[in-house]
Amino acid sequence: MNPFSDKEFLLQQYTAVKNDIASTCASLGRNPDTVRLVVVSKFQPDTKIRWLLEANQREFGESRAEEMEEKWEALLSSYPDTRLHYIGQIQSRKIKLIVKYCHMIHSLDRIDIAEKMAAECSRQNKSMECLIQINTGAEVQKGGIPPDSLSSFLEKCRMISPLIIKGIMCIPPVNEDPLPHFQLMQQLKNTFRLDELSMGMSNDYSKAISCGASILRIGNKIMGDRNEH
């Protein structure tokens, strides 16, 4: 039997991950402040999210617009300094909600979506920080552009205001060592002099930190199993 309450256990996991990030950074000579933790809260109840908000966690990742609206309308009213990250594939019909609630998009991979996103940002009188998703494993079931398309895609996206292209994101293939994928992403970030590098999840974030990740997307290791429905 778990000797902790659900809340105590979650906060223990959260603290352990934060401490592990800090110790990993220290071992690599990195300042822990250069690595941001985005807690992936998709498919998680608002009760768990609120516990983390009470612990001063302020960045969360979601991937479904309707779920985001359902959970975050009230949570953002209580914690207006929270930053939401959209980490799922972007559907045109969901753009209005994504722009309303999110501060950063991690999955930009189509020019037509970028243009629609920009138009909606203008309607809502806000800018949007964006990351371009790179499909490092050439997986047909995943979004993202090929690595060798980044130069031309980046050039086009930078012409689309009020989007602010901050960097790149990847999700390595599940059954492969993520390290070569992370190393490729680090090379791309440096080549194009980008600010943000979003990579690293519950099982591989230490390797991501070693390759210069600035944003980690960690869910299960903190939040536990998801209630996917």
**Residue 227: inside a domain:** no
CATH of the domain at 47: 3.20.20.10
- Asked whether residue 141 is assigned to any structural domain, the reply reads yes
**What are the tens digits of pLDDT across the range 117-126?**
999 999 999 9
CA atoms within 13 A on the CB side of 14: 24
Flag residues of the chain having pLDDT under 70: 1-4, 226-229
DSSP 145: B
Number of domains in the chain: 1
Which pLDDT belongs to residue 225? 75
**123 is in which domain, residue-wise?**
6-222
Residue 228 is assigned to a structural domain of this protein: no
Instruction: Name the DSSP letter for residue 90.
Output: P
Task: Please give the pLDDT value at position 1.
Answer: 39
DSSP 80: T
- Does residue 129 lie within any of the structural domains? yes
147 occurs within a structural domain: yes
Continuous segment of H or E residues that includes residue 209:
helix 205-210
Helix (H, G, I), strand (E, B) or coil at 57: coil
Rg (CA), the chain: 17
pLDDT of residue 151: 98
Cis peptide before 162 (omega within 30 of 0): yes
Beta-strand ranges (E) seen in 128-179 are 128-134, 163-170
Angstrom distance (rounded) from CA 176 to CA 193: 27
At residue 49, the pLDDT reads 96
3-state secondary structure of 228: coil
Tokens in use for 121?
A: 């940002």
Structure tokens at 86: 């959209």
